[in-house]
Amino acid sequence: MSATEAPTVPVLRSDDEAVAAAAALADALRPGAIDRDRAGGAPREALAALDRTGLIGITVPREHGGAEVSHVTLAEVIRLIAAADPAIAQGPQGHFLFVDVLRQLGTADQQARVFADVLAGRRLGNALAERGTKHAMALGTTLTRGGAAGDDGPPVLNGTKYYCTGAATSHRIAVSAVDEAGDVVVAFVLRDGPGVRVEEDWNAMGQRATASGTTTLEDAPIEDGLLLPYGTAYAGPQLLGARAQLVHAAIEVGIAGGAFADTVTFVREKSRPYFEAAGAGYERASDDPHVLHRTGELSARLHAAEGLLERAGRVLDGLPHVPATREQAAEGSLAVAEAKAFGSEAAVAIANELFALTGASATDDKYDLHRHWRNARTHSVHDPIRWKYHHVGAGVLNDAVPPNHGQI
């Protein structure tokens, strides 16, 4: 299916329908996760399957025909998919961010136009990050009038973006840029439009199938009327960052769950008891008291991560979409920060401990069990968890509110 071709998709109407669709998709994705990890590149068939479920429309507001699911449900949807294949779960992360941005900053006409496409299965990609600056979000990409057509031509984008997760298989790409007045904007371009080139050059050790490659824009015209004043999004109290980070937290908790499930299966079905345990009368690895103890610890850590994720969703559900004060915004941001930081640590720890519990046979590359650690470690450095704990501590001890940006 081409990026501009809309599949026939159901419009999900409730939280229960969204969770059921995510569980079914996870079951369908799980058998191919190893092959996608090994292949890398853009997993077009898997992302097309995601688009066909209707899940990309679950945060569209009800007045535009969407389910407008709760934050608890959004987190659960992503967690379920990530437990099966976290690369596919990360594919729509930018999509959900820009559905949120459109809800907050878009005009009625912009919302009606884009939300209708989203409900029809047309996913949004992102082109935000840049390199060569002290801050990844600093902008060298420009929106100017004319380009090669001259000063009287339509506005065009010029620049290079990196880590453009989801862009390669999207319908539209949301591009951040600086306009001629020096304001930060987001403009939408068609993925297959003129002057837009998306490369599949993502070559990380983990999350290999996110296809988070490079997007180059050369006099790329924006879609008529699809321009948002993105710089205003963070001018006052906001939860755009927290809601985006909730999706990242759910990915980490999903990785933790997938790694733990594979650990349990391997210990039960393939691991041999250590010879000292066998000599003491333990016939199965799953009877070894040391294995039992450590498995219990990891189970508790996983359930704690899942609980923090659900709590973060509930906190966001109890707040207005645009908070009235910085203190109100801080409540949501810090709840998500706890879930993201703890979930990241849990994912890395469980994926690492997998091998201590399963034994040397689990290191055979045919099982690809190391993908869990590679995925957890790669995704966990999306932003430093040490800063999340810092902001949580500052809030607890000093009633400090976190900074007003999109990473917390």
Over residues 228-238, the pLDDT tens digits come to 999 999 999 99
pLDDT, residue 154, reads 85
157 membership: H or E segment, kind and range = strand 155-161
Does 142-232 carry CATH code 2.40.110.10?
yes
pLDDT surpasses 90 at 143 = yes
Domain with CATH 1.10.540.10 in the chain: 15-123
- Would you place residue 138 in the very low, low, confident or very high pLDDT band (cuts 50, 70, 90)? low
Topology (CATH level 3) of domain 236-398: Butyryl-CoA Dehydrogenase, subunit A; domain 3 (1.20.140)
Q: Read off the tokens for 383.
A: 């932003």
pLDDT surpasses 60 at 5 = no
Q: What φ, ψ does residue 353 adopt, rounded to 5°?
A: -70, -20
Which residue from 175, 168, 241, 209 is spatially nearest to 378, judged by alpha carbons? 209
CB 197 within 8 A of CB 218: yes
pTM comes to: 0.95
CB 2 within 8 A of CB 192: yes
pLDDT surpasses 60 at 68 = yes
25 membership: H or E segment, kind and range = helix 15-29
Going by DSSP bridges, is the β-strand pair 124-127/172-178 parallel, antiparallel, or unpaired? parallel
Q: What tens digit of pLDDT does each residue of 184-196 get?
A: 999 999 999 999 9
Domain with CATH 2.40.110.10 in the chain: 142-232
How many whole angstroms separate alpha carbon 138 and alpha carbon 211? 22
Q: What tens digit of pLDDT does each residue of 358-399 get?
A: 999 999 999 999 999 999 999 999 889 999 999 999 999 999
- Would you place residue 289 in the very low, low, confident or very high pLDDT band (cuts 50, 70, 90)? very high
Mean of pLDDT over the chain: 94
Topology (CATH level 3) of domain 15-123: Butyryl-Coa Dehydrogenase, subunit A; domain 1 (1.10.540)
pLDDT surpasses 90 at 308 = yes
Nearest 5°: the CA angle 330, 331, 335 is: 110
Which residue from 392, 276, 61 is spatially nearest to 69, judged by alpha carbons? 61
Taking residue 143's Cβ as centre, other Cβ atoms within 10 Å add up to 26
